[in-house]
Amino acid sequence: MSLKMSTARKKLMAALAVVAVVGLSACTSNEPDDANENLGGGTSQAEEGSNDEAGDTVRIGFSAPAADHGWMASITESTRTVADNYEDVELIVAEGTNDPQVQIQQIETFINDKVDAIVLLPFDGAALTPIALEAMEAGIPVINVDREFNDPNAARVTVLGDNYGMGVSAGEYICEQAGGNKDAIVAEIAGIDSLPLTQDRSRGFKDALKECGLDVDNRVAADFTVQGGEEAATNLLQAAPKIDYLWNHDDDQGVGVLAAIDNAGRDEFVMIGGAGSKNAMEAIKSGEGVLKATVIYPSTQGADGLKLARLLAQDRSVDDLVEVEVPRLVQLYAPVVTAENVDKYLPTAFES
């Protein structure tokens, strides 16, 4: 679906140095299965001279928080899958943890073992900054995924989703659907309000709605869990007897949101999800129910980080760019998925 670029989107693009890296998630498995084919590439069918052609074997350490919801589970799973596609990659996966001190110990072990690169999605970016700096000072490139460090020097490459852009995409979609109706009632179910990512999503949403004369009439916050989503949605539906459009920030908590909507017998509005779960996309594809779109927040960021780590460790560049070095920042796009384009995004969707 083609959406017009609003002033909010233009401001976003002007404010961010976004590097578009073509084919970072694309590869073929040595032993193809559906998951590997969906993520594409690998060394088994690499063309001579391409980035996928086998090089020196490299050891890459990977650490991420515990897989306590679908999006985070997919981060680790997709990273493993991409690593399996490369015969020249030995991936060392630390056990997922939500304890920053444990994660710091994991990175210390990687440093002592002299791995060639580290892909790190920190539970707490600030807490992991000093140990990431230590790894960089030891000559081990760190690829920072999703949650940024306090010091840009703590990472050679940072791979990010676009939280502000998610809000902009959701808001632009509603503006398009509203068709100039400035009386449309818009509701929002956010994630954890204390997190900068939630604040960025809400800010982008508000900015985009403002472009077409709309605002957020009803808003509640949840906690990215099914139970939290159901409780927040129940409260929202009781407080708002009429809604035209509802944006829920996260498809994992959206399972609970949809349960609350079903329990309340409400179907007068269009719902937009967030993150891009397989469950949400299948509901969108079916055309049944209130969920008509979702905004992608890629769960392949760790996999992209793995591919960049391999290039750095093998002293290669990105072969789709003229630049001879791997970029410092890769920020991934936040497209809107609808029934018209859902088949394009289903293959890399995560399970809620």
Question: pLDDT tens digits, residue range 112-144?
Answer: 999 999 999 999 999 999 999 999 999 999 999
Report how far residue 31's alpha carbon sits from residue 183's, in angstroms, rounded to the nearest whole number: 55
> Token pair for residue 4?
């017009």
pLDDT band at 38 (very low <50, low <70, confident <90, very high): low
Same domain, 27 and 156: yes
Same domain, 212 and 63: no
Any domain includes 6: no
Any domain includes 9: no
Any domain includes 1: no
Any domain includes 319: yes
CATH of the domain at 288: 3.40.50.2300
pLDDT tens per residue, range 140-189: 999 999 999 999 999 999 999 999 999 999 999 999 999 999 999 999 99
Integer CA distances (angstroms), 239 to 101, 177, 232, 235, in order: 42, 24, 11, 6
Same domain, 141 and 221: no
Report how far residue 135's alpha carbon sits from residue 98's, in angstroms, rounded to the nearest whole number: 20
Same domain, 167 and 157: no
CB burial of residue 250 (10 Å; 0-12, 13-18, 19+):
buried
Same domain, 217 and 236: yes
* Number of domains the chain is built from: 2
Residue 280's contacts (CB-CB under 8 Å, 6 or more residues apart) are 251, 254, 273, 291, 294, 349, 352
Any domain includes 335: no
Any domain includes 230: yes
Same domain, 127 and 29: yes
Same domain, 171 and 274: yes
Report how far residue 191's alpha carbon sits from residue 198's, in angstroms, rounded to the nearest whole number: 6
pLDDT tens per residue, range 220-274: 999 999 999 999 999 999 999 999 999 999 999 999 999 999 999 999 999 999 9
Same domain, 178 and 262: yes
User: Residue 1 has what pLDDT?
Assistant: 34
SS3 272: strand
Mean pLDDT of the chain: 89
Supply the range of the domain harboring residue 71. 20-161+300-326
Whether 47 has a pLDDT exceeding 60, the answer reads yes
Closest CA to 305 of 93, 55, 14, 10: 93
Amino acid identity, residue 136? Answer: M
CB-based contact 154:212 (threshold 8 Å): no
Report how far residue 227's alpha carbon sits from residue 63's, in angstroms, rounded to the nearest whole number: 27
Same domain, 319 and 205: no
Whether 30 has a pLDDT exceeding 60, the answer reads no
> Token pair for residue 273?
């999800």
Same domain, 150 and 167: no
